[in-house]
Amino acid sequence: MARRPDQGRGSAILRHAVLALATLVFCIPFIWMLLTSFKSRPDIFNGGIDPWPRQWGIVENYSRILFDVPMPRYLLNGAIVCLGIMALQILVAAPVAYALAKLKFRAARWLLPLIVVALAIPAFLPTLPLYLAFRLTGLISSSSGAFGNYAALILPFSISAFGVFLLRQHFKSVPDELVHAARLDGMSDWSIVWRVMVPHARPAIVAFCIFSVVAHWNDLFWPLIVISDNTYATPPIGIIAFVNESVGGGDYGPLMAAATAVTLPIIAVYLLGQRFMADGMALMGK
C-alpha cells in the first residue's frame, strides 16, 4: 500500500524523536561518567550539577588510574579472561553443535533436551560445587599463581549451553548436500566443523562472541569468589578494589576515569563486532 509522502515524513520524524530520546536516556549515565572523569576534585563537589567541567582534571584523574592503581593490569586480565572464555566456548560449542545438528547417533535425542535444561539453570546455582571443585583440584588456593587464577576464572565458562544451542540452530540450516560434498572432497568431521560449518554460521558466531565478551567482561560474581590475589583481578574487581583502598568516600574523578577505562573496550568490541555482523548478514543474502 502506498503511503502519502507527508504522512511518511511525519511519522518518521516522530519515530526518530522517540528513538533519540530513548538513546539519550540510556546514554546520560555514561556521558555523566565521562564528564565527571574530566573534572577536578573540587569541581566535582562544588560544581553543582553543571555537566560541563569548569576546572579540568583529566591528567590528574587518568594518571592516577594509570600509574597509582594497576588499571592497565586489570584491563589486561579482563582481555585474557574474556578471550580465553570466548575461544574455549567456540572450541567446545562448534563441534558439539555440529554433532547435534548433522550427525546421526542415538543419544542425540536426549542430549538436546538436556542442553535446553542446562540453559534454564541459573548461573548462580552451580557456584558452590564449582568453587569446591576448584579448591579440591588446588587451582584456587592462597598460593595459586597465574595459571591457577586464570584457569579458575576461565574454565567454569568454557562450556556454554547457550552457545551450543545457538550454533546448533545455525548449523542445522547448512544443506546436507554441502556436508556430503565436503566429505567427498576428503574432509573429516573435524575439518567440516571448521571449514564448512563455522564460516557458514559466521554471523551467529560473531553475535555470540559479543554476547560472551560483554557478559564476562562485566562479570563480578564469580571473579569475586575466586580471586585471591588482586594481580589477577578483572576490571570490575579492580574498580571495587580501587573504591575500597583509595577512594574511601570521595575520590570520584579517578573512579569515573577507571569506569570509563573499563567501559571503552566493551564499546570498541561492540562497534567492531557490529561491523562484522553486518558483513556476515550481507553474506547470508544470496
Partner 1 sequence: MAGVAVTNVRKSFGAEPVLADVSLDIRDGEFLSVLGPSGCGKSTLLKLIAGLDIADSGEIRVGDRVVSGVDARRHDVAMVFQSYALYPHLSAGRNIAVPLEMQRLNGFRRLPLLGRLLPGTGRIRAGIRADVEATAAQVRLSHLLDRLPRQLSGGERQRVAIARALVRRLSVLLMDEPLSNLDAQLRVAMRGELAELHRRTGLTIIFVTHDQAEAMSISSRVAVMMKGRLQQVAEPRVLYDRPDNLAVAAFVGDTPINLLPARVLAGGTVEAAGVRLAFDGVPETAAGLQMGIRPEWLRPADAAAADTWTGVVTGVEYFGAEAVVRLELKGGHSMTVRWDGDWALPATGKAQPVRIKPGRGLLFAASGDRIGEVRPADAGLAVAI
266: which 3 cell numbers? 566493551
Choices 153-161, 163-171, 194-202, 211-219; region in contact with partner 1 by CB under 8 A: 194-202
187 contacts partner 1 (rule: CB under 8 A): yes
**Minimal distance, residue 174 CB to partner 1, in Å:** 10
Q: Which x/- pattern, by CB under 8 A, does the window 255-284 give for partner 1?
A: ----------------------------x-
Check if the beta carbon of residue 29 is closer than 8 Å to that of residue 51.
Answer: no
**Minimal distance, residue 88 CB to partner 1, in Å:** 19
**Minimal distance, residue 207 CB to partner 1, in Å:** 17
Number of residues that bind partner 1 (CB under 8 A): 20
DSSP 170-214: HHHTS-HHHHHHHHHTT--HHHHIIIIIHHHTHHHHHHHHHHHHH
Q: Of 265, 271, 263, which is closest to residue 31 (Cα–Cα)?
A: 263
Question: d(Cα 227, Cα 141) in Å, to the nearest integer?
Answer: 9
Closer residue to partner 1 in complex, CB, 9/275? 275
Burial of 225 (0-12, 13-18, 19+ CB in 10 A): middle
Integer-rounded Cα radius of gyration of the chain: 24
**Minimal distance, residue 182 CB to partner 1, in Å:** 8
Check if the beta carbon of residue 200 is closer than 8 Å to that of residue 170.
Answer: yes
**Minimal distance, residue 260 CB to partner 1, in Å:** 35
Q: Which x/- pattern, by CB under 8 A, does the window 200-239 give for partner 1?
A: x-x-------------------------------------
Q: Which x/- pattern, by CB under 8 A, does the window 145-184 give for partner 1?
A: ------------------------------x-xx-xxxxx
Tell me which amino acid residue 49 is.
I
Of the candidates 5, 48, 129, 186, which one interacts with partner 1 according to CB under 8 A? 186
- Binders of partner 1 in range 16-45 (CB under 8 A): none
Burial of 7 (0-12, 13-18, 19+ CB in 10 A): exposed
Half-sphere exposure (Cβ direction) of 22: Cα atoms closer than 13 Å: 6
Question: d(Cα 165, Cα 170) in Å, to the nearest integer?
Answer: 9
Closer residue to partner 1 in complex, CB, 54/180? 180
108 contacts partner 1 (rule: CB under 8 A): no
**Minimal distance, residue 92 CB to partner 1, in Å:** 20
**Minimal distance, residue 186 CB to partner 1, in Å:** 3
**Minimal distance, residue 282 CB to partner 1, in Å:** 10
Question: d(Cα 90, Cα 208) in Å, to the nearest integer?
Answer: 9
188 contacts partner 1 (rule: CB under 8 A): yes
Question: d(Cα 78, Cα 85) in Å, to the nearest integer?
Answer: 10
Of the candidates 69, 140, 196, 204, which one interacts with partner 1 according to CB under 8 A? 196
Q: What residues line the site for partner 1 (CB under 8 A)?
A: 175, 177-178, 180-188, 191, 195-196, 199-200, 202, 283, 286
